[in-house]
Amino acid sequence: MISCLGDKDGNASGNGFLLLDSEFNVKGRWEKPGHSPLFGYDYWYQPRHKTMISTSWGAPAAFTKGFNLQDVSDGFYGRHLHVYNWPDGELKQTLDLGQSGLIPLEIRFLHDPSKDTGFVGCALSSNMVRFFKADDGSWSHEVAISVEPLKVQNWILPEMPGLITDFLISLDDRFLYFVNWLHGDIRQYNIEDPKNPVLAGQVWVGGLLRKGSPIVAIAEDGKTWQSDVPEVQGNLLRGGPQMIQLSLDGKRLYVTNSLFSAWDKQFYPELLEKGSHMLQIDVDTENGGLKINPNFFVDFGAEPDGPSLAHEMRYPGGDCTSDIWI
């Protein structure tokens, strides 16, 4: 099943889901007629609860040109979750996340198939929103983690959001990891109590606020600061952390740094010139904690056909961002 983003002209219509057979022939639409979402992007389903929930990025005509804050005000970006009956494709409920849930991208249920809760990363609001089934059988939501925007100098806006562009949940449902693509940090939260996530680790691997950047953050006392980002094997780290993937044992977190070429060009133009890279973050699964592995650096700037932009990562036999237990 493939989630669609819009029509051939880039409008936020024609959204929905295509079904393909094992030979990749299109069989038709999955959702029932008249049950298409307002915007499309990611989705996750929990078969035991007969539910699938999808997220909403925006109109391709808007985001393919780069990010423009006015497009948010003009209604070209989403803020809703769409709750479907699984596997029948009936839209049962639409959750309006409001200003706390602008541009919800990646979504994950807990891996435990009996659980009726999960999280969605809302990029522009920089919130992790928890969704859950209420006592009456409907679905509800609440902000579980907030990344406060930072006051900055020498940037296009007076405040900079973290921009949560990806997250995942470890296979044992103990930890949640997410990235702040603009700020430049990766975070680890203990979610053994999903209602009360606790910060367990944080590491800086790039971002717009790194030392040496003309952009600086302003602390409450008026002093300025920048993040300390180390070199890896003599390489300056480029861009900000974007897509992540976790090893099955939860001990190695891999991270790339390309979001979308038009947005890369806008916020991190050096990525197009020098290419992406992939890092390994070593995870302390006992006490919590993240560290950059100094011996691992994959340079996509050295590809035979020129610099490349690295994005998604997958384990061949299933992984933390694809496995759904029945």
Longest dimension (CA), the chain: 61
Annotate 15-52 with b (16+ C-beta within 10 A) or e (fewer). bbbeeeeeeeeeeeebbeeebbbbbbbbbbbbeebebb
22 part of a folded domain: no
Helix (H, G, I), strand (E, B) or coil at 128: strand
Q: Mean pLDDT throughout 3-18? A: 91
63 part of a folded domain: yes
How much is the pLDDT for 325? 84
12 part of a folded domain: no
pLDDT tens sequence across 166-195: 999 999 999 999 999 999 999 999 999 999
pTM of the model: 0.96
pLDDT tens sequence across 271-289: 999 999 999 999 999 999 9
How much is the pLDDT for 14? 76
Q: What is the span of the domain harbouring residue 117?
A: 39-302
pLDDT at 13 over 90: no
Domain count, the chain: 1
We report the CATH number of the domain holding residue 185 as 2.130.10
3 part of a folded domain: no
188 part of a folded domain: yes
How much is the pLDDT for 281? 98
227 part of a folded domain: yes
How much is the pLDDT for 105? 98
pLDDT tens sequence across 214-233: 999 999 899 999 999 999 99
Band (111; pLDDT cuts 50, 70, 90): very high
Give the strand order in the sheet containing 16-20. 2-4, 16-20, 26-29
34 part of a folded domain: no
| Cross-strand pairs, 232 | 235
11 part of a folded domain: no
